[in-house]
A and B are shown apart, each in its own frame.
Chain A
Amino acid sequence: MYLNIPEPSRPISAKIISIWRWTNTIGHTVTLIILGALLYFDAAYNWVSWIDNVIYILIGLMIVSAVFSILIEPPFVQKSWRYEINEEFVQLKHGRFNQYHTLIPMTKVEYVTTDQGPFLRKHNLYNLKIGTTTSSHNIPALPKEEAIQLRSQIAMFAKVKDIEGEEVE
């Protein structure tokens, strides 16, 4: 039933589950407050009749989405995330219902950066961002040492390969 391909093995930090729960809660709360405010103005200023229907539908969708993305989704996403790098490739895998496998040759890596927001900083975690010639990819929530080490490793592999690549291509 599953794809018969080599899968990456290294997980991301489990602390990201609570971080995602927090950030999603904040995001949904802000959206609900805005929708509530719109509902209030709608009632106070008698907007066109169909607007309140639309707002009710949006609030309903937001509540469903909140239950899903705060309570259900985070552990699944965290458990399904795997990555691996070697001299040749960066390999990423994530998603449970929809599985995504990404394969990026080191020669095509253009830059690699680490960053952290306030929530990640609290847990001493980093995002690792890998930019290629065509797009960019994010590995969320790596412990500090791992992130820094990976960053320099990828930078090294990508650089060494680039020189060889130029000659071949």
Chain B
Amino acid sequence: MSNNPKRYHPSWLLFEYVSFLKNAFFFILFLFILRGDVMTGWILWAKIIFVLFAGWTIIHILLKWFFHTYQINNNSIALREGVFVKNHRVVPFERIQNHQTNTNFLHRLFKLTSLTLETGTSDSESSIKFSVITHDEARMILKKIEEQDAIAEVDTEEVLEKPKRTVYFRSTKRDTIKAALTSFSFLAIFPLLSAAYFQVNDFFDLEETTLSAFEYFKAHIGLLALLFIVAMLLSVVIGYIQTVVKYGNYVISADDERIYIEKGVWNTSTFSIQKDKVQAIKIEQPLIKRLLNMVEIKLISAGGLGEEKLETNALYPFMAKHEAYALVNTLLPAYHIEEEMKRLPKKVLFLKLLTPYYGTLIVGGVLFFFQREWLWVTGVVFVLAILSRILDYLFTSYLRHGEFIQTRKGGFSNETLLTRRARIEEIEVQHSWIQRKFDVASLKFSNRAKPVFVSELAYLPKEDVAAFYVWYGERK
């Protein structure tokens, strides 16, 4: 069974045009509304160039849509694109590492969605993105991919049972309130305001207006306080809405083959990865989450993860630690997170503290030459450096059990990584002169991810490092 080549859904054009308008919004506002009546000098030129550019873009988008086709075959997807330079590529389904969909407000309006298929390659063409696609079409493509996985897995079995999908986590209103508080999203209004301020300031000179506004508020301090309270209330509401949009309706489910993560209200996104394509598990604990005993667990995958801000690969980031660990153990029985890990030998603390303080030296040197009255800052930097080294020593730990290696690093915020021997791409062991005096060594290993994920652990007992090297040499 092979489908004919298809073009993208016609509303792709609409989406492209809307996004073009969005990007050009301030140019249009400035050139044709605020300076609409000016027809001289550089403004005239800017208008001409803009009109030419816009005309070209409108035609180009149309041509792109016309020439861009995709074709779903039995076990691959073929893409043809390019207006002048033709480009034809075929991506076998088995190369697809993970996939995600994202439905924003505009998609919802037209009952459409977007779909991204990520392959594991490192070049720029590593993903296939359908920025507009009907739900049925997306479902059809995903079904094909998932069937392909199933066939590859159970080659001999005659009957392909539809794997049962179980829901393991569903966020409640309480979770969302907790999330809104811990993510400090109630402060979200400030970055939003400052971004808007700078964007506007690029086009109009706000500096002077701002100054006179300051003068005004100085005279009316009560008004300022009132305004501040209103702004805070507004911020809390906006923060809560933002959290709901991003983390509301969070559902984590899985069947035998895959893990599915769905989230968001209005702007929904889904992420799905085959269980054995998980390269590693990363557990992050920033300071605030450590105090609240929460963790954030991410599934490292060879394919890119699209837009960073969506963080599609994270299990619910505001889950209590024991809950999250239990969830990982159920979702990925092949991985088991251990709490008790091996710490570094005591002498390493001295070694760490003895290493030259280059940062402090540079700060000291620069201040000495240029700003001698600020020389005391060097002292602060020095104390912070010592503190972070001590914390780093206290938190660094590691454990190798069976096929797994688990490492933890960090001071104020820490990060634990768990991966399997077969998922480590290469290792490097480093042994410096000073490390030889202390009978320690460093080890470094890489996991496939985008960008490459390199874990480095310094100052482990040399016997453990040697054992690690031999252990890796015995893989397969």
Choose from A1, A4, A53, A132 the contact partner of B426 (Cβ within 8 Å). Answer: A132
For B142, list chain A residues within 8 Å (CB).
none
Q: Measured between C-beta atoms, what is the minimum distance from B365 to chain A in Å?
A: 10
For A105, list chain B residues within 8 Å (CB).
425-426, 475-476
Tally of chain A residues near chain B (CB < 8 A): 27
A53 to B365, CA, bound (A): 13
Q: What 0/1 pattern do residues 448 to 476 of B give for CB contact below 8 A with A?
A: 10001010000000110110011011011
For B465, list chain A residues within 8 Å (CB).
3
Contact of A56 with B by CB under 8 A: no
Q: Measured between C-beta atoms, what is the minimum distance from B400 to chain A in Å?
A: 15
Contact of B436 with A by CB under 8 A: yes
Q: What 0/1 pattern do residues 364 to 386 of B give for CB contact below 8 A with A?
A: 00000110000000000000000
For B476, list chain A residues within 8 Å (CB).
88, 105, 107, 168
A101 touches B369 (CB 8 A): no
Q: What 0/1 pattern do residues 428 to 455 of B give for CB contact below 8 A with A?
A: 1111110010010100001110001010
For A1, list chain B residues within 8 Å (CB).
436, 439
Chain B residues packing against A (C-beta within 8 Å): 120, 122, 276, 369-370, 422, 425-433, 436, 439, 441, 446-448, 452, 454, 462-463, 465-466, 469-470, 472-473, 475-476
Selected A-B contacts with CB under 8 Å, 13 pairs: A4-B466, A5-B429, A5-B469, A6-B473, A97-B432, A98-B431, A100-B429, A101-B430, A101-B469, A103-B426, A103-B429, A104-B426, A132-B425
For A4, list chain B residues within 8 Å (CB).
462-463, 466
- Knowing A1-B439, A3-B466, A135-B446 are in contact, say whether A100-B430 is a contact too (CB < 8 A): yes
Q: Measured between C-beta atoms, what is the minimum distance from A127 to chain B in Å?
A: 19
B431 touches A103 (CB 8 A): no
Q: Measured between C-beta atoms, what is the minimum distance from A5 to chain B in Å?
A: 5
For B276, list chain A residues within 8 Å (CB).
169
Nearest CB in chain A to that of B302: its residue: A133
Contact of A46 with B by CB under 8 A: no
Contact of A2 with B by CB under 8 A: yes
A4 to B469, CA, bound (A): 10
For A50, list chain B residues within 8 Å (CB).
369-370
Nearest CB in chain A to that of B365: its residue: A57
For B452, list chain A residues within 8 Å (CB).
134-135
A107 to B448, CA, bound (A): 13
For B446, list chain A residues within 8 Å (CB).
134-135
For A99, list chain B residues within 8 Å (CB).
430-432
Nearest CB in chain B to that of A90: its residue: B426
DSSP majority for the B interface? mixed
A88 to B276, CA, bound (A): 23
Contact of A129 with B by CB under 8 A: no
- Knowing A134-B446, A135-B452, A168-B476 are in contact, say whether A103-B436 is a contact too (CB < 8 A): no
Q: Measured between C-beta atoms, what is the minimum distance from B138 to chain A in Å?
A: 27
Q: Measured between C-beta atoms, what is the minimum distance from B436 to chain A in Å?
A: 5
B441 touches A134 (CB 8 A): no
Q: Measured between C-beta atoms, what is the minimum distance from A44 to chain B in Å?
A: 24
A100 touches B428 (CB 8 A): yes
A101 touches B429 (CB 8 A): yes
A96 to B107, CA, bound (A): 60
**7 smallest beta-carbon distances between A and B, as pairs:** A134-B446, A99-B431, A101-B429, A134-B452, A104-B426, A98-B432, A134-B425
Contact of A83 with B by CB under 8 A: no
B426 touches A102 (CB 8 A): yes
For B463, list chain A residues within 8 Å (CB).
4
B441 touches A3 (CB 8 A): yes
- Knowing A134-B452, A135-B452, A169-B276 are in contact, say whether A3-B431 is a contact too (CB < 8 A): yes
Choose from B422, B428, B439 the contact partner of A101 (Cβ within 8 Å). Answer: B428
- Among A1, A6, A97, A105, max chain B CB count under 10 A is at A105
A121 to B452, CA, bound (A): 34
A3 touches B475 (CB 8 A): no
For A101, list chain B residues within 8 Å (CB).
428-431, 469
A1 to B426, CA, bound (A): 25
Choose from A5, A6, A133, A168 the contact partner of B448 (Cβ within 8 Å). Answer: A133
Q: Measured between C-beta atoms, what is the minimum distance from A72 to chain B in Å?
A: 15
A99 to B465, CA, bound (A): 13
Nearest CB in chain A to that of B369: its residue: A50
- Knowing A2-B436, A168-B476 are in contact, say whether A108-B426 is a contact too (CB < 8 A): yes
Nearest CB in chain A to that of B449: its residue: A134
Q: Measured between C-beta atoms, what is the minimum distance from B95 to chain A in Å?
A: 10
- Among B427, B428, B454, B465, max chain A CB count under 10 A is at B428
For A97, list chain B residues within 8 Å (CB).
432-433
A120 to B428, CA, bound (A): 27
- Knowing A102-B426, A134-B446 are in contact, say whether A3-B469 is a contact too (CB < 8 A): yes
Q: Measured between C-beta atoms, what is the minimum distance from A131 to chain B in Å?
A: 10
Within 8 A of B (CB), among A11-58: 50, 53
Contact of A89 with B by CB under 8 A: yes
A103 touches B427 (CB 8 A): yes
Choose from B430, B448, B473 the contact partner of A103 (Cβ within 8 Å). Answer: B473
For B469, list chain A residues within 8 Å (CB).
3, 5, 101, 103
A2 touches B431 (CB 8 A): yes
A14 to B448, CA, bound (A): 36
